[in-house]
């Protein structure tokens, strides 16, 4: 029987992706373009948060958005309706973005004319956490209806994010969601994670979130 040669494809793919992601970050530093990678489950409010963020920051920054979806362009149409430069990446079945896909999106922009690019990653809490997109910062959204146990189920996602936005806090009175328990679980995985309690429905907490983002962009551009 011939010897079987085992090749670890995933390790090679991740290594190549990390190398490209590092090159993208260097390019963004040279271009002075801050890239935010926003991740979440479907229906948690990524598009709503992006739209509110744009409304609060568009007078300060030149903004572009990369929208990723398996097939639909619905979210991209909403963002473009705000007058923001938008690129739609149709992943065709892929459940995440990687650095090569993001580079394709970034190459469609004139980066010299943008200060901030927001990536709306594909909606799930598993695959997007495994692939470095080359973004300067990662952030995630968790909505109250999803429950406070998600750090136990998806630890990697919480570990790689600089910010956790807890959306739909207007539902807190209608659920058994324990905010303090969530914070404890998230901080156990990532002691430096910043946690923001917001409602995209009534606007509560959104200014605190955008103030943090402004501080990150200012530090990056300085």
Q: Where are the domains of the chain?
A: 9-23+34-221
The string of pLDDT tens digits covering residues 201-211 is 999 999 999 99
The model carries a pTM of 0.91
User: What is the per-residue pLDDT across 38-94, written as a single tens digit (0 to 9) for each?
Assistant: 999 999 999 999 999 999 999 999 999 999 875 556 777 888 889 999 998 887 667
- Tokens coding 174: 């209608």
Q: What is the mean pLDDT of residues 157-174?
A: 97
User: What CA–CA distance (Å, rounded) separates 139 from 106?
Assistant: 19
CB distance 88 to 73 below 8 Å: yes
Q: Between 30 and 14, name the one with better pLDDT.
A: 30
Pick among 3.40.50.1400, 3.40.50.300, 3.30.70.20, 3.30.70.260: CATH of 9-23+34-221: 3.40.50.300
pLDDT at 13 over 70: no
Phi then psi for residue 203, to 5 deg, are 90, -5
Where are any strands of DSSP class E within 121-210?
Answer: 137-143, 163-167, 194-197
pLDDT tens-place string over residues 97-148? 999 999 999 999 999 999 999 999 998 999 999 999 999 999 999 999 999 9
Cα(140)–Cα(158) distance, rounded to whole angstroms?
Answer: 8
């Amino acid at each position: 029987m011939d010897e079987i040669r085992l090749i670890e494809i995933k390790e090679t793919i991740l290594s190549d992706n990390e190398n490209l992601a590092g090159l993208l970050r260097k390019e963004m530093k040279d271009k002075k373009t801050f890239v935010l990678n926003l991740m979440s489950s479907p229906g948690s409010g990524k598009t709503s948060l992006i739209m509110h963020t744009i409304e609060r920051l568009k007078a300060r920054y030149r903004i572009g958005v990369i929208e990723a979806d398996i097939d639909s362009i619905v979210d991209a149409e909403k963002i473009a309706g705000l007058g923001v430069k938008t690129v739609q990446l149709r992943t065709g079945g892929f459940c995440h973005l990687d650095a090569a896909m993001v580079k394709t999106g970034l190459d469609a922009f004139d980066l010299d004319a943008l200060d901030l690019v927001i990536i709306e990653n594909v909606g799930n809490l598993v695959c997007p956490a495994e692939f470095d997109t080359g973004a300067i910062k990662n952030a995630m959204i968790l909505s109250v209806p999803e429950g406070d146990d998600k750090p136990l189920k998806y630890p990697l996602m919480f570990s790689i994010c600089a910010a956790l936005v807890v959306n739909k806090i207007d539902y807190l009175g209608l659920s058994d969601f324990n905010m303090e328990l969530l914070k404890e679980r998230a901080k156990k995985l990532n002691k430096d994670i910043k946690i923001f309690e917001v409602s995209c429905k009534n606007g509560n907490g959104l200014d605190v979130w955008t103030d943090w983002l402004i501080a990150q962009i200012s530090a990056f551009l300085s």
